Amino acid sequence: MSNHTPRFLAAALLIAAAAIFLQARARSEVFPPRLTLKQFPAQLDGWTGTDVAIDKEVLDILGPGDFLLRIYQDPQKTQYTDLFIAYFRSQRAGDTIHSPQHCLPGSGWLPVENQRITLTIPGHEPFPANRYLIAKGDSRQLVLYWFWAHDRGVASEYWAKFYLVADSIKMNRSDGSLVRITTPIYPGETADTAQQRLLPFVGNVGPLLDSYIPR
């Protein structure tokens, strides 16, 4: 625990400083035009999406924002993928993006393995993302998630806070988002196999983000 204390304190100070700085900004914030997430396409390369209602308790924790939770099924209806996008128009009042690492254990899913991977989506520079293998009983799922703002993807919650302050100074904007994509690991699959199956879906989602999460 002592080995992680300096890192934890540094992260806590960074988050606290970001909150104080953002609330102290006096200029009117810039809010670029965007489409709402409910307009995100329900058809993605043959995959058909169905919206899922988000529990009020979860919405209360998330705070003010625009949220999408949708399950996409492949044309054969044998596989599905869970897409969650959380967009915050402003993070100056303390409503900031929550990492899935904090909420997954609370819903009964326990992390088995985590690592960083690099994602490449059309029209954007490669960026780091989190890859989580989670388990609940005999079920396993693969989770890919990243923080996305102003045409920039980062895996670290703390780098997301750093860029939040930097972009507020340079652009007078504090908007940002979390993108999370989840798929079950089917019998006979490895986590690597599930990732390769998931990457084409990521490639379909990525180019659409600019319309809903402004550059």
pLDDT at 173 over 70: yes
What are the backbone angles phi and psi of residue 137, rounded to the nearest 5°?
65, -125
| Residue-level pLDDT at 26 | 46
Q: Per-residue pLDDT tens for 42-86?
A: 999 999 999 999 988 888 888 889 999 999 999 888 899 999 999
Integer Cα distance of 201 and 191 in angstroms: 16
User: Distance (Å, rounded) from C-alpha 148 to C-alpha 205?
Assistant: 13
Confidence of residue 179 (pLDDT cuts 50, 70, 90): very high
Angle of CA points 141, 142, 147, to nearest 5°: 130
| Domain of 45, in residue numbers | 5-211
Residue 124 corresponds to which amino acid?
A: H
Identify any residues that bridge with 118 across adjacent strands, giving them in sequence order.
128
d(CA 196, CA 203): 11
Instruction: Report how many domains make up the chain.
Output: 1
φ, ψ dihedrals at 21, nearest 5° = -65, -45
DSSP-derived secondary structure for 113-180: EEEEEEE--TTS--EEEEEEEEEETTEEEEEEEEEEETTEEES-HHHHHHHHHHHHHHHS---EEEEE
Does the structure show a pLDDT above 50 at 33? yes
Quote the pTM value.
0.84
pLDDT digits (tens, 9 = 90+) for 79-95: 999 999 999 998 876 56
Q: What share of the chain is helix, strand, coil (3-state, %, to 5)?
A: 35, 30, 35
**Could you give the count of Cα atoms lying within 13 Å of 53 in the half-sphere of its Cβ?**
3
